[in-house]
Structure 1
Amino acid sequence: MKDWFLLYCKRSEQERAVINLDRQGVECYYPQVNVNKIVRGKRVEISEPLFPSYIFVYFDPEHLSYTTVRSTRGVADFIRQGARPQMVQQELVYGLMMNENCEVHQAKLSSLPIPGECLQLKQGQFKGIEAIYQEADGEKRSFMLINLLGKPVKVSVENEDIVKD
């Protein structure tokens, strides 16, 4: 009986792992999100993995062994609970598939400031301090460059703590 499992891949080798797993008949899924980035001085929209280095796989362990899947090029190992690979609930994976192209989620990520933009922090320990946006730090946090005691310091803050000037 087929089940969903979560694999951890070698750094930046998700694509390679998916190609090699597909050749073995393993169904793969890794959610992606479109984000706006500046590449070579131009703003472009690119797809990035929602969970970098992780892939959901759907296969029957009775027909294809865990060792075969784990030994696939690009794969590091299964996410485990004890000695056995941890199964993932189907509802979770199908929910991610349905929400992957959700416009609200896309708009939330694309509304982030551009790197170098001056902002003011509205909450938290750095409330009222002006900062320079550096980059996103996951979905809900961002790296900001603030000036403390005359030295620029890179800090990670919640996205809702940011006020655009």
Structure 2
Amino acid sequence: MKDWYLLYCKRSEQERAVLNLDRQGVECYYPQVTVQKMVRGKRVEAPEPLFPSYIFVFFDPETLSFTTVRSTRGVADFIRQGAKPQRVQQEIVYGLMMNEDSDAHQKQLSSFPKPGETLKLEQGQFKGIEAIYQEADGEKRSFMLINLLGKPVKVSVENKDIVKK
């Protein structure tokens, strides 16, 4: 019986793993999100992995062994619970698939502050301070430029602490 599992891939080799798993008949899901980044001085939109180094795979372990999948080029190992590879609930995977291209997801990404935008920090150690948004710092934090003792200082703050002016 087919189930979803989560694979951990070698660094920056998710695409290689997907290609090789596909050749073996394993269905793969590699969620990506489109982000804006600077490339050679120009702002471009490019896909990036939603979960770097992770791939969801759908296969029947009675037809294709865990060892065969784990030994595929680009794959490091399964995410495990004890000695057994951990099954992933299909509702989670299908939910990710539905949200990946949804308008609400795109709207959420576009509501993020733009670099250079002036914001006010609402919570945390810098509460009440005006800051200039610089860039995202991972999933839940952002780099902000604040004026501290007359000097601009780059700090990392929780996204939930930011309020648009």
TM-score (norm: length of structure 2) = 0.86
2:74 is aligned to 74
TM-superposed deviation, 1:137: 3.2
Helix, strand or coil: the match of 1:46? Answer: strand
Q: 1:15, 1:136 → 2: CA distance?
A: 24
AA matched with 1:33: V
Identity of aligned residues (%): 79
- How is 1:16-165 mapped onto 2 (pairs within 5 angstroms)? 16-148=16-148, 152-158=153-159, 160-165=160-165
AA matched with 1:152: V
Which digits, 9 at most, give the CA deviation of each residue in 1:99-128, with x for residues without a partner? 111111112112222334443312222112
AA matched with 1:86: Q
Q: Which runs of 5+ in 1 are unaligned?
A: none
Q: 1:67, 1:90 → 2: CA distance?
A: 22
Q: 1:8, 1:128 → 2: CA distance?
A: 41
Contact 2:4/2:59, CA 8 A, preserved across alignment: yes
Which digits, 9 at most, give the CA deviation of each residue in 1:38-96, with x for residues without a partner? 32222222211111111000011111111111111111111100011000011111111
Cα distance change, pair 105–85 in 1 and its aligned pair in 2 (3 A): same
Helix, strand or coil: the match of 2:48? Answer: strand
Helix, strand or coil: the match of 1:96? Answer: helix
Contact 2:137/2:156, CA 8 A, preserved across alignment: no
Cα distance change, pair 120–24 in 1 and its aligned pair in 2 (3 A): same
AA matched with 1:99: N
TM-superposed deviation, 1:21: 0.7
- CA RMSD after TM alignment: 2.1
Contact 1:144/1:157, CA 8 A, preserved across alignment: no
Cα distance change, pair 70–156 in 1 and its aligned pair in 2 (3 A): farther
Contact 2:141/2:156, CA 8 A, preserved across alignment: no
Helix, strand or coil: the match of 1:69? Answer: helix
Q: Which runs of 5+ in 2 are unaligned?
A: none
Q: 1:147, 1:12 → 2: CA distance?
A: 37
Q: 1:76, 1:128 → 2: CA distance?
A: 46
Contact 1:6/1:79, CA 8 A, preserved across alignment: yes
